[in-house]
């Protein structure tokens, strides 16, 4: 996954409302914008904006069913974001390990 | 102290006027840049103060330096910790849209690493905001 795609994922996940939409979609098969507007303390228009950010990041996909669009989670980009965070975490572990050695052995 | 500079660039499939509007309209900045944007006089003009607030409690105060529509926006901003940096957005028309480049100067090495990570997602937000209008 390219940097730009990952940037879109982190932009989407930086917002608490969008994170709560993702959490809802983990426990439900799919939702409509109307259902989300009923669940969340935000307007239908705000729900649409948040869904657009999640769709842009590839985290959510919509498909039309009758008169409404149903949205479901497409978790591929979450795996990629998680793998990226894993690399950062490993770098920190390496730094902390060097710090531990430095502290235990004293400066040379 | 060596000066830390962070540069990020992104191609956006919208005209420069649409990108510019998402960049300088305080209410549109609230869609992608900060949770609350209060501009003195309601718009970004040279010398005006802008207060950026995020829901996690972070606040930054900016002073607009340059507004050259639809090409360049520059401001200086500072957090409570006293670090003041300069941020410049430059827009260049491309056949398929607009290339946006953001440069932040004056960072310490410590904050440069974090800022290198945060500008990418912010530009992704700007792209989304600009394309929502263009669509």
Which pLDDT tens digit goes with each residue over B92-127?
Answer: 999 999 999 999 999 987 788 788 888 999 999 999
B32 and A10 in contact by Cβ < 8 A? no
* CB-based contact, A92 to chain B, within 8 Å: no
* CB-based contact, A45 to chain B, within 8 Å: no
How far does B85 lie from chain A, in Å, by closest CA? 22
Contact present, B61 and B78 (Cβ < 8 Å): yes
Is the pLDDT higher at B132 or at B108?
Answer: B108
Place of tokens 């932009």: A11
List the single residue in B55, B120, B132 with the smallest CB-CB distance to A7: B120
pLDDT at A48 over 90: yes
Three-state secondary-structure class, residue B48: coil
Q: What tokens were used for B71?
A: 């090409």
pTM reported for the whole predicted model: 0.84
Nearest chain B residue (CA) to A5: B124
Instruction: Count Cβ–Cβ pairs < 8 Å, chain A vs chain B.
Output: 34
List the single residue in B120, B123, B128 with the smallest CB-CB distance to A53: B128
Three-state secondary-structure class, residue A66: coil
How much is the mean pLDDT over chain A? 89
Which residues, other chains included, contact B82 with Cβ-Cβ below 8 Å and sequence gap of 6+? none
Lowest mean pLDDT segment, chosen from A65-79, A80-94, B49-63, B72-86: A80-94
């Amino acid at each position: 996954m390219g940097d730009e795609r990952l940037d879109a994922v982190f932009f989407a996940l930086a917002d608490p409302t969008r994170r709560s939409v993702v959490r809802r979609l983990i426990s439900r098969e799919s939702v409509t914008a109307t259902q989300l507007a009923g669940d969340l303390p935000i307007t239908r228009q705000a729900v649409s904006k948040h869904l657009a950010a999640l769709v842009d990041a590839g985290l959510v996909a919509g498909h039309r069913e009758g008169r409404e669009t149903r949205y479901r989670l497409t978790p591929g980009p979450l795996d990629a974001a998680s793998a990226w965070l894993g690399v950062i975490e490993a770098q920190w572990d390496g730094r902390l390990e060097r710090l531990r050695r430095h502290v235990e052995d004293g400066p040379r | 102290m060596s000066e830390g500079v962070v540069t990020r660039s992104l191609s956006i499939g919208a005209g420069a006027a649409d990108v510019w509007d998402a960049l300088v309209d305080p209410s549109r900045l609230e869609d992608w840049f900060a949770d609350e944007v209060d501009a003195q006089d309601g718009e970004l003009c040279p010398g005006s103060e802008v207060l950026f607030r995020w829901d996690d409690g972070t606040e930054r105060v900016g002073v607009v330096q340059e507004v050259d529509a639809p090409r360049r926006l520059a401001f200086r901003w500072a957090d409570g910790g006293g670090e003041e940096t300069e941020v410049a957005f430059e827009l260049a028309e491309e056949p398929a849209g607009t290339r946006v480049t953001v440069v932040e100067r004056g960072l310490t090495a410590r904050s440069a690493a974090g800022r290198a990570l945060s500008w990418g997602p912010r530009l992704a937000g700007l792209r989304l905001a600009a394309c929502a209008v263009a669509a």
